[in-house]
Amino acid sequence: MKRIGLGLGLGLGLALAASAHAEPGWDLKVPERVELVAGEAGTLSIAIAVDRGLAISKDAGLVLDLAPEGAVDVGRKRLGRADAVDPDADSPRFAVALRADAAGDFRVRMHLRFWLCGQKSCRPIDARRTVAVAVAAAAPPAPAPTP
């Protein structure tokens, strides 16, 4: 009898722990890694997806803070809904311009805040993600042709 009780308790505890880590209703879609060439521009795509029946509040703020590390530079470090590719969409997308002047492995940390709303209520969302940025060295210039 004790084994059955322990098994049920352990199984229930694991199920609760797994559901505690889930983020129901929305998802932040970002690549795990972005590859750039030193001195050239690239783009980091960020999309917020929401489940059917939910929406990101257009009345409350949506703030996306970006913290690039090392040689990586972003056009703007703080973005709002108006900066989205599609600001009026229920699920906004961002195309963040990236540039790095030196080769190496770097990161861009993101901090996103918005309000997720159902039919009767809204709840604040606060999410953090990190994207790896691999920057390859630029190809050396071709030698000038000799006459």
- Segments of 30-103 assigned E as strands: 33-37, 41-50, 55-56, 63-68, 72-74, 78-80, 93-100
pLDDT over 60 at 13, yes or no:
no
Q: Is 30 helix (H, G, I), strand (E, B) or coil?
A: coil
CA distance 12 to 85: 43
Mean predicted confidence (pLDDT) in 8-21: 39
CA distance 84 to 63: 11
- Percent of the chain topping pLDDT 70: 81
CA distance 28 to 91: 10
pLDDT confidence band for 11 (50 / 70 / 90): very low
pLDDT of 14 reads: 38
pLDDT of 147 reads: 67
Read off the pTM. 0.76
Inter-residue contact 95 to 85 (CB < 8 Å): yes
Q: Which amino acid is at 43?
A: T
pLDDT of 1 reads: 47
CA distance 49 to 112: 13
pLDDT of 142 reads: 67
Mean predicted confidence (pLDDT) in 112-139: 94
pLDDT over 70 at 82, yes or no:
yes
pLDDT of 139 reads: 77
Residue of higher predicted confidence among 146 and 27 = 27
Mean predicted confidence (pLDDT) in 71-83: 94
Going along the chain from its start, the domains and CATH numbers come out as 24-136 (2.60.40.10)
Average pLDDT for the chain = 84
CA 12 to chain centroid: 31
